[in-house]
């Protein structure tokens, strides 16, 4: 039996988890920093790094307690060491290395985005082996992968500008809502008219699997505040925020669904999954299930605790890498990009 401690500090969640045999989540502790970043309508890297260093040991202690284990019971420490905010990642990596050194545990560096895809394999037995198309959409990433096995990932496409979740946050700021934007836009969109505004869907050519959301964000800005307006300009007086939210969300979901279907057609893989915070979006979930049924592919989503940033997915993928003998030295470094 393997017991892996996962540590996640790539953005604004300080998280730790203990996972048994790469699948069974024994504990999953997430300390969100949303309250710290909400006044800025986005994650402030320095504030995130400062919070991580204060929170990480208590969060790890709670993850061990919740799992009913001690450090001496562990097999390995897995840490998200890429991609993300470099100062934030360095906190998790420094802690993981000290724990591995201090307790003579194996150390495993994990790609945070790939771990989102593996979260689906952890929870869905039908998706545990064999190829998957994986969409990861969050505040920091929007990427499409082909994953033939738990530890094999081929990047098919990614965003050329804003991430999908970042677009939700920026539109929430334009609409003078709160941070993070995803949940509140999802809620407001339920009462809005998704056809009121014909916002652009940037598909970047017939065969592209990349994404772009910056033009959509600008289009929403002009629709809400007038042509060439700034984010700080006032909202137009007759604006229906629900209609804007519904039309914007539909535009984002149209693009995400189209790209997943393209990736399925391109790879010939008949199973798709979605991870990352945007995978919690109710409209995306409905639309992808309908689209998958119509086009003959099945779609898997992680449960909400494993959708957003968490350390269970880091420990889970870490366990798979450990099984494959992919252990890192104590010189393990942090990287802002996926490399």
Binding stretches for other proteins (CB under 8 A): 39-40, 44, 46-47, 49-50, 52-54, 56-58, 60-61, 71, 87, 90-91, 93-99, 101-104, 329-334
CB of 179 to other proteins, least distance (A): 13
Nearest to 174 by CA among 205, 199, 195: 199
CB of 228 to other proteins, least distance (A): 23
Contacts of 12 (CB under 8 A, 6+ apart): 32, 33, 34, 36, 37, 43, 48, 51, 88, 309
CB of 97 to other proteins, least distance (A): 4
Spatial contact of 273 and 299, defined as CB atoms under 8 Å apart: yes
Q: How far, in Å, CA of 35 to CA of 67, rounded?
A: 27
CB of 36 to other proteins, least distance (A): 10
Of 9 and 249, nearer to other proteins (C-beta) is 9
Nearest to 17 by CA among 313, 312, 306, 307: 312
CA-based torsion, 165, 119, 70, 29: positive or negative? positive
CB of 255 to other proteins, least distance (A): 31
Of 268 and 329, nearer to other proteins (C-beta) is 329
CB of 325 to other proteins, least distance (A): 21
Of 103 and 124, nearer to other proteins (C-beta) is 103
Main-chain phi, psi angles of 325, to 5 degrees: 80, 15
Of 8 and 210, nearer to other proteins (C-beta) is 8
Q: How far, in Å, CA of 215 to CA of 228, rounded?
A: 13
Spatial contact of 186 and 242, defined as CB atoms under 8 Å apart: no
CB of 312 to other proteins, least distance (A): 20
Chain centroid to CA 89: how far? Answer: 15
Of 30 and 48, nearer to other proteins (C-beta) is 48
Of 60 and 78, nearer to other proteins (C-beta) is 60
**What SS3 class is residue 172?**
helix
Of 184 and 332, nearer to other proteins (C-beta) is 332
Dihedral angle over CA of 173, 175, 181, 186, nearest 10: -170
């Amino acid at each position: 039996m393997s017991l892996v401690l996962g540590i996640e500090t790539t953005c604004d969640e300080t998280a730790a988890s203990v996972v048994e045999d790469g699948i069974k989540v024994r504990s999953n502790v997430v300390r969100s920093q949303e309250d710290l970043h909400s006044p800025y309508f986005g994650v402030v890297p320095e504030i995130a790094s400062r919070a991580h260093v204060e929170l990480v040991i208590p969060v790890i202690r709670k993850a061990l307690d919740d799992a009913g284990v001690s450090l001496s019971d562990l097999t390995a420490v897995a840490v998200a060491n890429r991609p993300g905010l470099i100062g934030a990642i360095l906190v998790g990596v420094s802690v993981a290395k000290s724990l591995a050194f201090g307790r003579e545990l194996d150390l495993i560096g994990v790609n945070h985005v790939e771990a989102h895809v593996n979260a689906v394999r952890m929870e869905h037995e039908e998706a545990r082996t064999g190829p998957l198309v994986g969409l990861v959409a969050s505040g920091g990433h929007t990427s499409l992968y082909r994953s033939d096995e738990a530890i094999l990932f081929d990047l098919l496409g990614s965003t050329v500008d804003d991430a999908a979740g970042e677009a939700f946050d920026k539109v929430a700021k334009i609409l003078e809502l709160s941070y993070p934007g995803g949940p509140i836009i999802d809620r407001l969109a339920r009462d809005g008219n998704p056809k009121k505004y014909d916002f652009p869907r940037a598909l970047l050519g017939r065969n592209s699997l990349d994404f772009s959301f910056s033009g959509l964000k600008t289009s929403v800005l002009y629709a809400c505040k007038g042509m060439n307006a700034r984010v700080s300009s006032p909202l137009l007086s007759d604006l229906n925020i629900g209609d804007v939210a519904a039309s914007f969300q539909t535009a984002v979901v149209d693009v995400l669904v189209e790209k997943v279907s393209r990736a399925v057609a391109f790879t010939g893989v008949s199973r798709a999954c979605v991870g990352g915070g945007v995978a919690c979006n109710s409209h995306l979930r409905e639309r992808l299930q309908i689209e998958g049924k119509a086009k003959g592919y099945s779609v898997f989503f992680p449960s909400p605790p494993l959708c957003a940033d968490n350390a269970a997915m880091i420990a889970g993928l870490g366990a798979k890498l450990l099984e494959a003998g992919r252990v890192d030295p104590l010189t393990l470094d942090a990287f802002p990009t996926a490399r």
